[in-house]
Amino acid sequence: MSDAMIRVPAEVRDRLAVIAESRGTSIRSLVQEFAETTLTAEERRERAALAQMCRDGVPAGVAAAVHAARHLPEWGSQALVATVEPKAYEGQGVGVFDLNR
């Protein structure tokens, strides 16, 4: 693992030290945990879109497949969802490859 130096004001470093100590860990581990668990704005939008599809009655697996098909940059609008349940994808705006044929 390579190290990187992150410069913060002394007050921030001191606060991180207090938080880390209260959790029984190090500042390094605290920052690593933050980086691994904090969602980016794009990740929050993606999760919100999936959650909205589920609230609209789309099964979670279908919502995830639709989301994945919509976000394949190398395929663009030609991405397909391969499925044995093509009716589940009607009206979702993605191409479907029917595995029953």
Question: Whole-angstrom distance between the N-terminal and C-terminal Cα of the chain?
Answer: 49
**CA gap 98, 80 in Å, rounded:** 10
pTM: 0.65
Q: pLDDT in tens for each of the 101 residues of the chain?
A: 788 899 999 999 999 999 999 999 999 999 999 999 999 999 999 899 999 999 999 999 999 999 988 888 788 778 899 999 999 999 998 999 999 98
Domain regions of the chain by residue span: 9-38, 41-98
Per DSSP, the chain holds a count of helices (H) and strands (E) of 4, 2
